[in-house]
Structure 1
């Protein structure tokens, strides 16, 4: 089979896997459903991926998430927290959301895989970032639960934008409003 056809079949399997894992989840998705969506015999998938886990891994690993790196860059930047977010993190999150289906798969639909704690890791990364920022700004000792709640809410806000993603402009508008509330309060709207 010429390389072009192999690449095209690989891409069809990949995209069908994204769609089926997004519609269902890792555990519920069947290779037959992925093959049907790709318009190929199920046996052909096994020429490219030895099993469902390997296909899922290929999809999940295609999205690189490193909030610790972005948080560190944001912490080093100058300006108000909202400016630092806009200058450092906003484009990173918008780029991430262009792969919104894979992001949702990782965060919500990866139970039973090595990625099943991805959402917890994201929340923990944001939580550490908030904690470090509070430590810099105040001498008040807050209960760690505050950082956890704020981080969970922010992560869930990003996920809601991903779940309802229409296009980059929609994501930008929604994230701008969410972060405005996050940094200035709901009365700022």
Structure 2
């Protein structure tokens, strides 16, 4: 009997993962999940109290792993005396490597977390990542352009924020649109190369 219950719960998990990946948290339907799992909607509530509970079951582990990556990275940014662009790019590449590793382990869950969690308690995760990359970019610009004063011009601060936001959004789109880990690594590496080149050229122009 326990084996049968475990099989039903696993069927619900698989159906829910597909439903959340297709429709996102807000539009996902318990009825559709039940149909895909071959059970009645009422049967789902024998295993999960609510859609929130089911979403949490699937997404909380990958969220905890990503939150730890961001915590450790922020700690490194706060404690490391990064003085040149290359120091910060090393940290960006660490985030890149961590995301790709998490994707290889839990591709659907990470895609849902970063792109399809609106309306859930995890909806701020992508913004948390953007906030961290904004901090990194801002420190890059400060180290390169305002080393003496320690203060960036408002326009330079906006540029750093814009570049950080679009970088994270672009990575999320790559994760959304591709399922092969090697392809994702290739595209993210290319993205970082283009951004790093662009940042270097931007700084040169601003210094001129």
Fold conserved (TM > 0.5)? yes
| Residues 12-35 of structure 1, C-alpha deviations (whole Å, 9 max, x = no match) | 212211110111122221111111
| Residues 42-89 of structure 1, C-alpha deviations (whole Å, 9 max, x = no match) | 222111101111111222212132324234446749892444544x33
Change (3 A) 1:108 1:172: closer
1:135 to 125, 136, 142: 142
User: 1:171 Cα shift?
Assistant: 0.9
Change (3 A) 1:70 1:15: farther
What is aligned with 1:70?
Answer: 73
User: 1:39 Cα shift?
Assistant: 2.5
Change (3 A) 1:125 1:5: farther
1:170 to 183, 186, 197: 183
The whole-number CA distance in structure 2 between the counterparts of 1:130 and 1:68 is 17
The whole-number CA distance in structure 2 between the counterparts of 1:135 and 1:123 is 18
The more displaced of 70-79 and 114-123 is 70-79
Change (3 A) 1:146 1:33: same
Runs (5+) with no aligned partner, structure 1? none
1:179 to 192, 202, 207: 192
| Residues 131-177 of structure 1, C-alpha deviations (whole Å, 9 max, x = no match) | 23333343161433222211111111111111112211011110110
1:158 to 153, 171, 178: 171
> Is this contact kept in 1: 2:77–2:136, CA < 8 A?
no
- TM-score, normalised on structure 2? 0.76
> Is this contact kept in 2: 1:74–1:85, CA < 8 A?
no
Please say which structure displays the higher CA radius of gyration.
2
- Are positions 1:12 and 2:11 aligned together? yes
What is aligned with 1:93?
Answer: 99
> Is this contact kept in 1: 2:52–2:120, CA < 8 A?
yes
Runs of 4+ in 1 over 6 A off after TM superposition: none
The whole-number CA distance in structure 2 between the counterparts of 1:177 and 1:149 is 19
Runs (5+) with no aligned partner, structure 2? 202-208
More helix by proportion, 1 or 2? 2
- TM-score, normalised on structure 1? 0.83
C-alpha RMSD of the superposition? 2.7
